[in-house]
Structure 1
Amino acid sequence: MSVGQRLADEAARYASMGWMRGTSGNLSVVLQRDPLRLAVTASGLDKGELTESDHVEVDADGQPVSDGVPSAEAGLHARIAAVSGAGAVVHVHAMAPVLAAERWPGGVELCDLEMLKGFGRAAHDDLVTIPVIRNGQDMRVLGDAFERGYRADTPALIVARHGVYVWGDDLRQARHRLECLEWLLRFILESGRDPR
């Protein structure tokens, strides 16, 4: 299956979950490392209706190197891929991460929850802190904030009042991590308990 079709299929899945409403959210896949090139979903399109050709190739700064207009956040995707070594980055506007960041703006702590294993961490005695950064429109500024708080064992970043970025070796691993993280965040919000 082509990269474009994989991006379209994943975007349709997230749109059906209500995590990519309207034209929001974006996905990327690393095409090559040296120089860094990513395929990123195109800007301004309904993510539930993408076709195989609705993506743009971008460079390490998120600038297009093929026809089309990439997501405005392509630069942050590229920074995350460069720093983390991820093969895919997903960005959605699920409600739970945004609400969690509102409640815990210094970082969202998770511990002693079985679903942490699906996120790539231990189920017990492993304090996981999901970094939260302030929103903005300059992807270099957001990238710098991401890099300052980056931990190799925590494949996620919440942008306050915006959404969440999760990454993995490929789109499938990134999706599994995102689904688990969304469950974890919903649990701590809905249970009303301290995350620890």
Structure 2
Amino acid sequence: MNVFSSEPVSAALIERAGAALAAESARFASRGWMPGTAGNLSVTLARDPLRLAVTASGLDKGELTSSDIVIVDEDGAGVIGEGGSEQRPSAEAGLHARIAAKAGAGAAIHVHALAAVTAAHVWPGGVVLRDLEMLKGIGHSAHGQDVVIPVVDNSQDMVALGDAFEAVYRPASPNSRDVPALIVAGHGIYAWGADLREARWHLEIIEGLLQIALATRR
């Protein structure tokens, strides 16, 4: 369970969420996956009503502080008076909110990693992965199963992008977990998990899988 959404949204919780988001942002900026102000991250603070802490817009992701977050609602709109800063939330906050609501994510990470963008160009209908050991890292069988990383067209309309995500998202079943990632063509990848650590693991594993798929394609 996400450690944030299980407790009241207090000033201390928001401060802790901001520090965690700043640390993860610095990690991905150092890898070149969040160049300049690109990319965004979120953690789910509460479910009813839905509240997320999202990185603020227009800031260098390698230099964020614990104060550089905005509290947003289920539409990705900033919520005044509930903590966080009064900066502008990331433009993609609405998609983060849809992922939190639909997939039950406790955290989501959006980066501009090269393999994801390249893979979407090569396989615009979705990236099929099979018989790769690292698939176990996202809860799927390493052998004998097709795992599809969905790809959707880019849009500046977050409602349209959220609708596209919901159209391709397949929830967990008794025999399989969901696929905790979405590639937006020509843009980047979203990955999520129960908390920031799991979201990070999912992102790193899937980016690695995509690198293998691209390097071995015929």
Give the TM-score band, short-chain normalised.
over 0.9
Consecutive unaligned residues of structure 2, counting only runs of 5 or more, are 1-14, 81-85, 172-177
Q: Is the 8 A contact 1:43 1:70 kept in 2?
A: yes
Which residue does the alignment assign to 2:185?
Answer: 160
Return the offset for 1:68.
1.5
Which residue does the alignment assign to 2:147?
Answer: 128
1:36 matched to 2:55: no
Which residue does the alignment assign to 1:101?
Answer: 120
Residues 113-169 of structure 1: CA deviation (Å, up to 9, x unaligned) = 001111221111121001100001000000000000001211110000000000000
- Letter of the 2:202 counterpart: R
Structure 1 runs of 4+ off > 3 angstroms? none
CA RMSD of aligned residues (A): 0.9
Return the offset for 1:191.
1.9
- Letter of the 2:146 counterpart: L
Q: How many residues align?
A: 193
Which residue does the alignment assign to 1:144?
Answer: 163
- Letter of the 1:192 counterpart: R
Which residue does the alignment assign to 1:176?
Answer: 201
Q: How far apart in 2 are the matches of 1:123 and 1:50?
A: 37
- Letter of the 2:70 counterpart: V
1:191 matched to 2:205: no
Q: Is the 8 A contact 1:119 1:178 kept in 2?
A: no
Residues 38-94 of structure 1: CA deviation (Å, up to 9, x unaligned) = 000000000000001000000000000032210000000000110000100100000
- TM superposition score normalised by structure 1: 0.97
What is the DSSP-based 3-state SS (H/G/I as helix, E as strand, rest coil) of the residue aligned with 2:189? strand
Q: How far apart in 1 are the matches of 2:43 and 2:60?
A: 19
Which residue does the alignment assign to 1:71?
Answer: 90
Q: How far apart in 2 are the matches of 1:5 and 1:120?
A: 28
Q: How far apart in 2 are the matches of 1:4 and 1:120?
A: 28
Which residue does the alignment assign to 2:105?
Answer: 86
Q: How far apart in 1 are the matches of 2:209 and 2:44?
A: 27
Q: How far apart in 1 are the matches of 2:217 and 2:169?
A: 27
Consecutive unaligned residues of structure 1, counting only runs of 5 or more, are none
Which residue does the alignment assign to 2:6?
Answer: none
- Letter of the 1:168 counterpart: G
Q: How far apart in 2 are the matches of 1:165 and 1:20?
A: 12
Q: Is the 8 A contact 1:120 1:177 kept in 2?
A: no
Q: How far apart in 2 are the matches of 1:4 and 1:107?
A: 33
What is the DSSP-based 3-state SS (H/G/I as helix, E as strand, rest coil) of the residue aligned with 1:47? coil
**Is the deviation greater in 104-113 or in 122-131?**
122-131
Which residue does the alignment assign to 1:51?
Answer: 65
